[in-house]
Every structure is written in C-alpha cells, then in structure tokens.
Amino acid sequence: MTWLLIIGMGVVVFLNRYAFLEPRLPLRLSANARQFLGFAVPGMLTAICGPIIFMPAHTLNLQPLNPYLLGAVVAAALVRLTRNVMLSMLLSMLIFFVLRSVLS
C-alpha cells in the first residue's frame, strides 16, 4: 500500500514536470506567452518566500519586528549594495539568527 502510494506520487509529480517538455505536444508559445512566462522566476520564487516570511510556524505574523521580514529586507538591501549574491545570503543569514535570538 505504501509503495503503491510512493510510486503513484512519483508518477504524478513526474507527469507535472515532464508534460510540457514533450516535443510531440502540439503547442507553440506565442510572443505573448513568452512574455508572460518571462515573469515566472520573480513571480514563483516570491510566492515560495511569502508564506515562509509572513507565516512562520503556520500562523500569520505581520509585525514589523518579524525577524524573517527584517532578514529578507537586509538580504535585498545587501544584494543591491554589493551585487554579490553569496555574500548577501551569508550576511543576511547571520543577521537573521542574531535578530531571532534578540527579538524572541
């Protein structure tokens, strides 16, 4: 039963991933579709971050002193200033953990 579930889930997820990679699928992307999909990276990555930042422990937290929010703002500011992705990630993580221990 459990193995049936695991394999079933594997098939479902793989079909989601593979469906549009199949060249025999009769589909040509129009200029508009390509333009729309150009927003996929900022749109989807932001959607993944949203709940992590504003719903830590699955409850809504809209306080300005939320360490996840402050950490995200610091990361954005750092990458603007330094243009260094790796440095910004590491520094903002350090600042997040300091803020977290101070604010809680």
Partner 1 sequence: MLACLVQMPIPMPSIARHAFLQGAIAILPLSLAVAPWGLLAGSMAIAANLSAWEGQGLSAIVFAGAAQLVAIGMLKSGASLASILLTTLLLTSQHLLYGLSMRPALSPLPLRWRLGLGFLLTDEFFALTSRHDHQHFNRWYALGIGFTFYVAWNLFTWAGIVLGKSIPHLDQLGLDFSIVATFVALITPLVRNLPTLACVAVSLGASVLFSHWHWETALVSAGLLGMGTGFACQKLGRVV
By the criterion CB under 8 A, which residues form the site for partner 1?
A: 1-10, 12-14, 16-23, 27, 29, 32, 34-37, 39-57, 60, 67-68, 71-72, 75-76, 78-80, 83-86, 88-89, 92-93, 96-97, 100
Pick from 96, 24, 9: which is nearest to 56 by CA? 96
Nearest distance in Å: CB 4, partner 1:
7
104: Cβ contacts below 8 Å, ≥ 6 apart = 67
101-to-35, 77, 88, 92 alpha-carbon distances in Å: 43, 22, 20, 14
Nearest distance in Å: CB 64, partner 1:
15
Determine the length of the chain.
104
Residue among 64 and 80 whose Cβ is closer to partner 1? 80
In the block, tokens 């394999």 appear at 7
Nearest distance in Å: CB 35, partner 1:
6
Residue among 4 and 64 whose Cβ is closer to partner 1? 4
